[in-house]
Amino acid sequence: MSARNLGVIGSLALVLGLAAANWLLSGPAQVPAPHVLPALSAPGSGSPQVAVAGVAAEARADVATPPASAPTQPLLPRIPDPSASDDLRKVLLALEDDATPAQARRAADMLARCEHADRSTEFAYQVRDQGGPLRKTFENGSGTMDQWIKASQDMQRRCQIFDAATLARRGELLKRAYEGALPGMALQYLIWLNAHPEQGGAPELLGKLQREVRQTAEDGDMDAMMAYAHSFGALGETAMQRQAYKEAWLRIMAEMSDPAAAPESRDSMENLEKRMRQGRWAPLVLSAAEQREVDALTQRAVDAWRKRYR
């Protein structure tokens, strides 16, 4: 992978990580109770990024709070999007019994983006109005803020065709994609089941998904590591495992991103953990032996990522 492509991916990953922290920092501080975070994608990327799990924690971080003078996001008129009917057709086909796992995954991705389309556009406005290293990182790697906002607004319009009942069927699609052994689906399906306990995920299934996601993180998957960094136990990981994968994710961000912007990942995580301490979450205190164990797991994850992508 070229240095240019790696830098672009790093920029997008940093934006996504900070979007995750922004999402977590927007609600009341509480115990880790799983929520689903926005599935964001870069303008023109063609495939949405995986959603990550975590808990809402009330806070006001610099990256998460727009200035008092920031303009309010304008309401979008209900203008029919010519591609919306095709989106609906594809989702309905994916819900049929003979749909393939690949069809199910694409439809689930579309519904995830639509579920959080309004919030994704709000975050784009915040990054534009706040400026600073995060905006610079995005523009260096992915185009202009106007392009990002336009793409987000276009998605909002396309999503107006889906009603709440259709959005609620995303779990069926995730289940089919997971059972089809498609990469990355264990994480997405686990997040969905955690956020929707009424779906009745059996303990055996949840345990299997948790083991698979942990292995995926140790194998160097960035989506899984970012999910653990923001999970606070919601994905079934131990505090030591969360600490290890969080540190691995932050180190990789430092390697992939603009050096001027990479510290925002650590700052955002520190703000998030500070707010979580006002709930029932407590920072990890490790013995020397436990710290060595965490460091070893961190290094294995970082080395696996380098082997895959360097």
One digit per residue, pLDDT tens: the chain, 310 residues?
Answer: 554 455 444 445 555 555 555 544 444 333 333 333 333 333 333 333 333 333 222 222 233 333 333 444 444 444 445 567 888 999 999 999 899 999 999 999 999 999 999 998 998 898 889 887 777 777 776 678 888 899 999 999 999 999 999 999 999 999 999 999 999 999 999 999 998 888 777 899 999 999 999 999 999 999 999 999 999 998 999 999 999 999 999 999 888 876 666 677 788 888 888 888 877 788 889 999 999 999 999 999 999 999 988 7
Rounded to whole angstroms, what are the CA distances from 290 to 211, 212, 273, 293, 295?
21, 23, 20, 5, 9
Q: Rg of the Cα trace of the chain?
A: 19
CB-based contact 67:148 (threshold 8 Å): no
**Treating both helix axes as pointing N-terminal to C-terminal, what angle do 145-159 and 132-142 enclose, rounded to 10 degrees?**
80
- Reading the block at residue 283, the tokens are 């920072």
Whole-number pLDDT of residue 13: 54
Whole-number pLDDT of residue 65: 34
Residue 236's region, left for phi above 0, alpha for psi from -120 to 50, else beta, is left
Give the residue among 234, 229, 227, 232 at the shortest CA–CA distance from 281: 232
Whole-number pLDDT of residue 175: 95
> ∠266-270-274 over CA atoms, to 5°?
175
* Rounded Cα distance, 153 and 151, in Å: 5
Whole-number pLDDT of residue 218: 97
Q: Which run of H or of E encompasses 36?
A: strand 35-36
- C-alpha count within 13 angstroms, C-beta hemisphere, residue 222: 22
- C-alpha count within 13 angstroms, C-beta hemisphere, residue 163: 2
* Rounded Cα distance, 183 and 187, in Å: 9
Number of Cβ atoms within 10 Å of the Cβ of 208: 13
The amino acid that residue 20 corresponds to is A
Count: domains in the chain: 1
Full residue range of the structural domain in which residue 74 is found: 3-309
DSSP, collapsed to helix, strand or coil, labels residue 240 as helix
- Reading the block at residue 19, the tokens are 């979007």
**Treating both helix axes as pointing N-terminal to C-terminal, what angle do 239-256 and 222-229 enclose, rounded to 10 degrees?**
120
**Treating both helix axes as pointing N-terminal to C-terminal, what angle do 203-218 and 222-229 enclose, rounded to 10 degrees?**
110
Q: Which run of H or of E encompasses 54?
A: strand 53-54
* Rounded Cα distance, 215 and 213, in Å: 5
Whole-number pLDDT of residue 79: 43
Residues near 244 by Cβ (< 8 Å), separated by ≥ 6? 294, 295, 297, 298, 301
End-to-end Cα separation, the chain, in angstroms: 6
